[in-house]
Structure 1
Amino acid sequence: MAKQPKNAQNKILIIILSGLGLIALIIIFALGKLIYQKLDMSPPAKITPLPSFSSPVPTETLQPDLATEIPPTPENTEVPSANSFPLAANYEWSVFLSGMDRPIDLTHANDDSGRIFIAEQRGVIRIWENGELMSSPFLDIQYLIDSSGNEQGFLGFVFHPDYQLNGYFYVNYTNLNGNTTISRFQVSADPNIADPATETIYLTVHQPYSNHNGGGMAFGLDGYLYAGIGDGGLAGDPLENGQNPDSFLGKLIRFDVDNDPVPEIWALGLRNPWRFSFDSLNGDLYLADVGQNIYEEVNFLPFSTAAGTNFGWDYFEGNHGFEDNPPESFTSVFPVAEYSHQEGGCSVTGGSVYRGELYPEWQGIYFYADYCTGYVWGLLRNNSGEWQNELLFQTDANISSFGSDEDGELYITDLNGIIFKLKRN
């Protein structure tokens, strides 16, 4: 889907995000006056122009801007969706591949090749094709990466929607200084080997500590690249990054990679958005945010949501107050699902909405998991608009990510070296 044109006519002198969070509003402080723009399903003019750069500029001091464009209405407004959960006992997560080194992410290039690309935390992308794992890596950037910390290393990657034409893909990793780096690479003349020398760094963000780096990456149906960055680490967000509009930490940011890929803050109030995804048919966002002491959460935003959503951290952990009282005018979006550490969980792994063809009974159901317990849940919105959440599977895996192949069939990556695929018994 084509992105909406930008309007460079209007200029914002100051942007303040404090108190944002209503899905139906964009709140901007400009020229000393508050401007409230009601959500309109037709694309409005761009309010904040992107700076003009001839090429991406890596920087740790770039001043964040609030993204202000509202996504266009998706073409697929009516999508197939189950109204209840299938009997999970009729399905299993079957071993698809083993012997990998801490697999961290899995996806496909949407190039009709049938290949599956699997990233390992050490800094390597491997290719599975025709029943075999290729011996030579697609990409090896171990020399660029610090993977010494449990939450550091190669954290996520995604292919450009037009990869078949331009050969671009994007990665999220911690560099040798431990800082978040978001880069673009390009495939070489050999379709099974990327060229590390083509790296173009879009953003480098200083990470004060080794944990809470985020790592999720995805393209929305609006054509923008989205990336999740954690709050910078330690317990309780001691540097207050989640609510700080002047920091990329604790944010969901986006890039207009087909024009000026200058990063913009699209949402704030996040602790560690390790994995998020967009429904491939209607563009709705599902974002899992790893909790602190008690609660893990899954958030939902419809495709038409404007920029500026506040997910509440560190005023809230899940649906519960966490630290201090928010300002009187504070508003945030609360999770549509949560679970407690008292159930044995420790870290939510966001997943995907099933859009495969093999199992139509799973259509529209969002899968997510817990890293420690290996539990896999399903989340759906029934015909009455109510959210239903159900524990579906109890695995022994340390689930680091979900992914899908070109046919939309679901996989999970187990950090112990195994890839599983959802199959009927």
Structure 2
Amino acid sequence: MLSAISVLAAGTTGDETIRLYADDELVGTYSDLGSGADSGQFVRLDADTDASTPSQIRIEFINDVYEPQLGIDRNVRVDRIEVDGVGYETESPNVFSTGTWLAEDGITPGNRQSEYLHADGFFQYDLAGNPTGSLIVVTADGSTGNENMSLLIDGETVANWDVGTTTQTYSFVAAQTVSADQVRVAFTNDRYEPDVGIDYNLRVDNIQIDGVTYETEDPSVFSTGTWLPSDGIVPGNRQNETLHTDGYFQYASDDVQAGFVGLAVTQVTVNESDGTAQIGIDRFDGTDGPASVFYQTFGVEAESGSDFIGTDSGRVDFADGQSSAFITVDLINDEEFESVESFSVSLFRSEGAELAEPRTAIVTIVDDESGLGLVGHWRLDESAIGQNVADSSGNGNSGTHTNIAAPAGPTANGVDFDSANAGALLFDGDNDFVSIAGDPSLDLSDGQFTQSVWVRPTATGRTYQGVLGFQGSGGVAGRYPGIWVQNDTQVHAGFGDGSNWNSLSTGEVLTLNEWNHVATTFDGTNYRVYVNSAEVYSTDQYAGRTPTAETRVNIGRVDNYFAGAVDDVRIFNRALTAAEVATLIDGADVPSVPLSNGQYVTSQLAAGFDTPIEVEQLADGRFLVAEQDGVVRLVNADGSVQSTPVLDIRSIVNSGTKDRGMIGFAVHPDLANNPYIYASYTYDPPEITGGGLGGVDGNGSRVSRISRFTVTENNGVLTADPATNVVLVGNNSTFDNIGDPDSRVGLEGPHSCVDAGGNPIEDCIPADETSHTIGELEFGPDGMLYAASGDGGSFGRVDPINLRALDVDSLAGKILRIDPITGQAPSDNPLFNGDPDANESKVFAYGLRNPFRFAVGGTASNPEIFVGDVGWTQWEEVNRGVGGENFGWPAFEGGDGESLQTGRYRDLAEVQAYYATNPDVTAPMWARLHSQGARAIVMGDFVGPQNASGTGTLLFTDIGDQILRAATFNDSGEFLGVEVVSGNVGFIVDMHTGVDGFTYYVDITGSIGRLNFQTV
């Protein structure tokens, strides 16, 4: 049986001739070798022989000419031979040469480990007794064609190659079976002389071991010679194919469990005198191999260089097996009186493990010079009736016991603070209180305040019990800011402004006969109530109003009396942040906060899904559940799951990271007459193959699409053929319009969906990063399809490309409104320019960061969107719009009812120029600070008539605290406020009110269910 022999060879002049021998018999003579030896352009010479092993093969160079005075120097370069498809490298230590010149000894017969014959002579592939193990194939190229590459197994060099500019394979057969973690590929002759245009670099696309491919840009590959713009040349898991200096790639084995890295906390409170702030990082779901995470700090109120030592590119390393680490930020302790200030920490990249949520944290620095703004602090630690009630604030606002008699009075049963607490004060609820005389320091008429008090209510059946405040002869409009216990377990609060009584009442949030911490804050716009550090109520209906100039205060009485115990009362002339309010708990044990008239609880309907992401109810009561990797499943009314997927588009969905995949899903509301389902997804074009960043489900740059599929039903089995795919948006989201599919794009680009001039490409949705790609799909009451897209850029750093969210010609950072059949823009869209295919025409709202989930309300003639925009370092937003709104990102983020310039982004020249245009920006309807526990908002839906909480209620959640909140509206659609309406409901990522009026949810850990409202 004949064997197929191939020789890959080239000459330097084009005039060289070689002969191929098998078992000393001439097989062929070859003269057409070309002149590509030095650039690696080899000619393949094929023959069939009886030889079946490489040791039977010899290649001779027979017509050398060396006449340097005439510029003639013939040489032959033989890259390798192949015997029945198995490659054997010429530079193997086992290949004998008689014509190779080396600098140390000229032309000397021996095992020269070179591919060149510089004189008449031969290569004898005498491999007897040698490699019988793994075949290792390295795919590589050089930037100049002069690069040298070495292959190492267990740290020992086994092969060396001269690498050309054309991507080629270099093979080696080992003496034993080899795993990837034994293999290194090294660059050994770097040369960088920019003044003369010399820059050697080696690119290694991948290695193959016995047919298994290992991509060089995989997060598990360790590099010692890769340059990145963020930090230069630093050893680490760089996810890059190039060695820019002498160094190596160390590969990893198949069973590596590198895991994920994310912040362990989202809020940290430190004292200025602590010296450092430590923010924990966790590595989970695997700790194999080293890993690194990169972070930046951003000043909020605190300033880098004045309050803390910030960084643009900090790094924390994990050793193999290490599961936790800390970011340490140095604090600056000054002598200045300052308010409590904060800064944020943002993770923006990882190596060796995948970056996970949470990625941002708020650090609050409590000033140690004073409790700035503290105008009164009554610890109520007195030991006998009649003692002066001391003011610990330093302002001298002491109080006196009035009508206090045993068994009321001082008690040792105070709050169990971490710090010392001598006791509390009991009130009988009949006529006793503490009277504090008026003093200018207690004047809160500048418009901001915080009141903090610990209460242990004991009486029942009382409508109002005054805890803190004062009412003089001016009636309710003249009241000092105050706090009451209402109907036993509610909090009532309010202030008079001289003309109005500005009050609120929470739900049933207090626990009888236990210590409850109550704090109210008013910042001039938002009036908030915290119970046991949880924000239980907020409203902005009194924005712009200021308290009266009354300065007298009572504890235990306002217009009526309190029955129970009170401890540690404080008044500030500013609004504390949520983080500051939390510090007032001081380690005390507190009860869970009960909810108002009832609460939502979860009821699971079906489980066992693989990362479910959306749920839609069909008219017959069945459900469609979309999984992130591109599968849609049918759930019957009894909870059973149809064995055959309704839709499977995993072959085109890029779901290689937690925030990519099929993120949006919708069902046509008239499915009987329009049998369509819809998907929005990060897209892997057909050119994407293999593994690594540029491979299937890889984390390199991508694009996104929105598609429609036709549904059919046969014998009760519902299916949608992937071949019915009609791309509605993203027809130009193609491979050619991806910036660089093989890399995680840096700030410098190249970016997706832009032309050579940097202009947005029509009908192309960029997804350059692993998050902020595509989002929700929703049908509106007008029958149009609404779609969300993220900014597509860096989620952790200041990235100028994110300004495309403000560019109406780009599809990034938008809510789109399209015809669900054609994908074109309706002519009544707010930015319609006459062309239904134009990007601008499809835009309904813009200036969004990551509108992962949104809801559509209103009417057919006046639809409204309510967008949960996942924030950056400070804010989570609910944005409300009727069309045409600019929500401002990245120039603006937050606040609550006002637009605030975004820290760090505001320093960009492009953003400064944007501010100079005085843009019309729509502020959030509601926003929540990360310092208040926010992390990543998930918008839900308006509840239906089956829920007793009422139909004017919009539910949403946050993956940080995983509780439901309800935004409420009056009959005119006016926003009233937000209230907590559940305990922990799990990792909900989608909520939809179904055709039956119930609200259904998706828990990304694998289940769907129904939200039920339970009254107290």
| Aligned ranges 1:80-159 → 2 under 5 Å | 87=596, 89-109=598-618, 112-131=619-638, 132-159=640-667
Cα separation, partners in 2 of 1:237 and 1:373, compared to 1, 3 Å: farther
TM-score (norm 2): 0.32
Q: Does 1:298 align with 2:878?
A: yes
Q: What TM-score comes out, normalization by structure 1 length?
A: 0.74
Partner of 2:726: 200
Q: Indicate conservation of the 8 Å contact 2:627/2:662, yes or no.
A: yes
Query: What is the alpha-carbon distance in structure 1 between the residues aligned to residue 606 and residue 768 of structure 2?
Result: 36
What's the CA shift for 1:155?
0.5
Residue 370 in structure 1 maps to residue 966 in structure 2: no
SS of equivalent to 2:775: coil
Q: Report the AA paired with residue 298 of structure 1.
A: V
Indicate the larger mover: 265-274 or 412-421: 412-421
In structure 1, distance between residues paired with 2:812 and 2:823: 21
Deviation at 1:103, TM superposition (A): 1.0
Distance in 1 (CA, whole Å) between partners of 2:948 and 2:859 is: 14
Quote the Cα distance in structure 1 between the aligned partners of 2:1008 and 2:597: 19
In structure 2, distance between residues paired with 1:268 and 1:238: 16
Q: For residues 188 and 249 of structure 1, do their structure 2 counterparts lie closer, same or farther at Cα, with a shift above 3 Å needed?
A: same
CA drift at 1:284: 2.7
Aligned residue number for residue 26 of structure 1 = none
Structure 2 gap segments, 5+ residues each: 1-505, 508-594, 686-701, 731-764, 825-836, 907-911
Residue 242 (1) aligns with residue 817 (2): no
Instruction: Report Cα offsets for 1:201-238 as digits up to 9, x if no partner.
Output: 12222322221013111122222211110001213443
Separation of aligned partners in 2, 1:225 and 1:382: 27
Equivalent of 1:181 in 705, 709, 716? 705
Superposed CA deviations along residues 83-122 of structure 1, whole A, max 9, x for unmatched, are: x98936454122222221111011123xx31111111111
Per the alignment, residue 689 of structure 2 pairs with none
State the AA in 2 paired with 1:316: F
Checking the alignment, whether the CA contact within 8 Å between 1:372 and 1:398 is kept in structure 2 is no
* Partner amino acid, structure 2, of 1:172: S
Which residue number corresponds to residue 419 of structure 1?
Answer: 1008
Asked if 2 retains the 8 angstrom alpha-carbon contact of 1:366 and 1:378, the reply is yes
SS of corresponding position for 2:772? coil
- Could you tell me which of 893, 908, 918 is aligned with 1:317? 893
Provide, for residues 115-142 of structure 1, a one-character-per-residue CA deviation record: whole Å limited to 9, x for no partner. Answer: 1111111111111112122222111111
CA deviation string 1:321-378 (max 9, x = no partner)? 20325234211111111112123331100110112x3224331200001023212110
Match of 1:269 in 2: 847
Whole-Å Cα distance in 1 between the matches of residues 727 and 647 of structure 2? Answer: 16
Q: Which structure is higher in strand share?
A: 2
Aligned to 1:336: 925
Amino acid at match of 1:180: S
Match of 1:379 in 2: 967
Distance 1:188 1:213 in 2: 30
2:721 match: secondary structure: strand
Partner of 2:101: none
| Deviation, structure 1 residue 254 | 1.8
> Per-residue deviation at 1:280?
6.9
Per the alignment, residue 225 of structure 1 pairs with 785
| SS across alignment from 1:391 | strand
**Do the aligned partners of 1:290 and 1:296 also contact (CA within 8 Å) in 2?**
yes
Q: Distance in 2 between matches of 1:332 and 1:237?
A: 20
Q: Which of the pair has the greater relative contact order for Cα pairs under 8 Å at 6+ separation?
A: 1
Q: Deviations over 1:171-191 (max 9, x none)?
A: 101111532111110012435
Question: 1:246-302: CA deviations, max 9, x gaps?
Answer: 21111111212345624511211010111111127673321111100111000112x
Structure 1 residues 162 and 327, CA, compared in 2 at 3 Å: closer, same or farther?
farther
CA distance in 2 between counterparts of 1:260 and 1:101 reads: 30
CA distance 1:388–1:182, shift in 2 (3 Å): same
Amino acid at match of 1:278: V
Q: Which residue identity is paired with 2:978?
A: N
Against the structure 1 CA distance between its residues 378 and 201, is the aligned structure 2 distance closer, same or farther, given a 3 Å change threshold?
Answer: same
Aligned with 2:710: secondary structure? Answer: strand
Deviations 1:2-34 (A, max 9, x none): xxxxxxxxxxxxxxxxxxxxxxxxxxxxxxxxx
In the other structure, the counterpart of 2:939 is 350
SS at match of 1:197: helix
Q: Which amino acid aligns with 1:169?
A: I
Label 1:181 to 1:383 Cα distance change in 2 as closer, same or farther (>3 A): closer
CA offset at residue 393 of structure 1?
1.7
Contact persistence 2:601–2:985 (CA under 8 A) = no
Q: 1:352 to 1:371 in 2, by over 3 A?
A: same
Alignment partner, residue 536 of structure 2: none
Partner Cα distance (2:646, 2:930) in 1: 38
- Is contact 1:107–1:116 with CA below 8 Å preserved after alignment? yes
Aligned to 1:212: 772
CA distance, structure 2, for counterparts of residue 237 and residue 161 of structure 1: 39
**CA separation of 1:424/1:202 partners in 2, compared to 1, >3 Å: closer, same or farther?**
closer
Which has the larger Rg?
2
- The code of the aligned residue for 1:246 comes to D
Alpha-carbon contact 1:128-1:134 (below 8 Å) kept: yes
Query: 1:391-424 CA deviation, whole Å, 9 max, x = no partner?
Result: 2223151221112322121122111112231124
SS of the residue corresponding to residue 672 of structure 2 reads helix
For the Cα contact (< 8 Å) 1:88–1:393, is it kept in 2?
A: no
Contact 1:231–1:237, Cα closer than 8 Å, also in 2: no
Letter in 2 for 1:367: L
SS in 1 for 2:718: coil
Q: Of the candidates 851, 859, 868, which is equivalent to residue 288 of structure 1?
A: 868
Q: Contact 1:373–1:398 (CA<8 Å) still a contact in 2?
A: no
The residue identity in structure 2 corresponding to 1:92 is: V
Structure 1, unaligned runs of 5 or more: 1-83
Equivalent-residue separation in structure 2 for 1:287 and 1:176 (angstroms) = 27
Query: 1:316 aligns to what SS in structure 2?
Result: coil
Cα gap change, 1:417/1:123 in structure 2, threshold over 3 Å: closer, same or farther? same
| 1:166-177 map, 5 Å | 166-176=674-684
Q: Is contact 1:173-1:180 (8 Å) kept? A: yes
- Measured in 2, the distance between the counterparts of 1:285 and 1:260 equals 19
Identical-pair percentage: 30
Partner SS for 1:241: helix
Q: Residue type of the partner of 1:266?
A: F
Question: What CA RMSD, in Å, does the superposition of the two structures yield over aligned residues?
Answer: 2.3
SS of the residue 2:651 aligns to:
helix
* Counterpart residue identity of residue 238, structure 1: P
CA contact (8 A) 1:228 1:274 kept: yes
Alpha-carbon distance in 1 for matches of 2:965, 2:953 = 10
